[in-house]
Amino acid sequence: MGGGGPASEAVSREVLIREVGAQGDGVDASGLFVSLTLPGERVRARCVEGRGDLEEVLEASPERVPAPCPHYGVCGGCALQHWAEAPYRLWKVERVRQTLARARLEAPIELAFAAQPGSRRRLALHARRRGREVALGFKARRAWTVTPISACLVAEPALVAALPALSALAAPFLVSPKSAPTLHLTLTETGIDCDVTGVERPGPTADARSQIAEIAARADLARVSLAGEILYQARPAVVRFGAARVEMPPGAFLQATAGAEAAMVRLACDWSRGADRVADLYCGLGAFSFGLAAEASVLAAEVSSAAVAALARAQGSSAGLKPISAQARDLDRRPILAEELKGFDAVVFDPPRAGAAAQSAQLAKSHAARLIAVSCNPATFARDARTLVEGGYRLERVAVVDQFLWSPHIELMALFERPFR
């Protein structure tokens, strides 16, 4: 594990942990971060440059539990497996509360969804050559090396079962010493979809491509692509949003956990109930759009033209829904203007981690009665929420969505309302 500096500078000492920081590390009174620790614990850690690697727990917290994964502590994922469920979930809620408080915001906060083991349908696995073997797994804790995995307790069982075949699949992509393939996996209704990035040009040779197709066929993968270019396809990669069956373009965004997606769509529909016209901004493949279209006409906007085309095709075969008008538009460079939102009763917006600064400035000027924010980054959400509140909206409630089990990553939804005027 990386120590952050030369080994000669490291000091082993006792540390009293006061709290858990934003990245899931324990923090002492001096601001030292120690991985894999909990509040109230006295530990011995190897410390250098403000960070510590846990060596020994001297006095354990009553909230500490045995970590169930064989790769815990070496693999860079699941940094909070050692924390009992109730305080771990409460910590996520409190992190949101603290982030809002720093932006002078407050609202009722609830835990709306809690992912369980074996539910993650998306994984990003890294491949590296080790002699004649291929190491396939996750980045090691605080290091760039890859930890090969034989199990993953958060992943869907079908993805775990495919790990041996995926290791074989990675080998033909290691075309040069500089190649560092990442296999982006999605478990779809029609099987596993694999989009590979990080391969040096010109990419796999003709022989390697033939080998990729043979391995994918033996493993019964739905599709394999290289940075969006389809190399092998047995059948389209299909995801379902309510009654809609969407053929997912290679590399398209999808929520990591199907249960979390369903919970968020339910919230969006509940919070927008009664609306006749709804805008779904940063709509992706249409998870929210198709749910909202059961009761309202929808304007859907997304930067990816491939995602918009997939949404439009799926709409044509989805009976019983109100119209969805989809457009490819970069909302960071060309946000939907407040004037364009005239006549819309509600807006749902689900930006990437950088948030929606430009779009929020326009939403703050709009007259939509309700705004529903979805965010994977509480810090940029708080910034955008401040913009909306200063524009006259009221933050009514916040729902924490814990779809990344045992991770410090936090997803949330929030409802804003404009007081009648």
Q: Are strands 346-349 and 277-281 parallel, antiparallel or unpaired?
A: parallel
User: Is the separation of the CB atoms in 402 and 394 below 8 Å?
Assistant: no
Tokens 């993650």 sit on residue: 120
Tokens 């491949």 sit on residue: 127
Taking the CA atoms of 72, 78, 82 and 84 in sequence, report the sign of the dihedral they define: negative
Torsion over CA of 229, 230, 236 and 237, rounded to 10 degrees? -60
How far CA 244 is from CA of 81, 214, 266, 293, 300, in Å, comes to: 36, 32, 16, 11, 15
DSSP bridge partners of 347? 279, 371
Q: Is 283 exposed, middle or buried (0-12, 13-18, 19+ CB in 10 A)?
A: buried
Tell me the C-alpha distance between 42 and 21, whole Å. Answer: 16
Is 269 one of the annotated active-site residues of the chain? no
Tell me the C-alpha distance between 148 and 126, whole Å. Answer: 9
Best CA proximity match to 69, nearest among 154, 162, 164? 154
Q: Which of 47, 78, 152, 376 is catalytic?
A: 376
Tell me the C-alpha distance between 179 and 352, whole Å. Answer: 27
Beta strands in 60-170 (DSSP E): 109-114, 122-130, 133-139, 146-148
Tell me the C-alpha distance between 396 and 125, whole Å. Answer: 39
Active site residues: 376
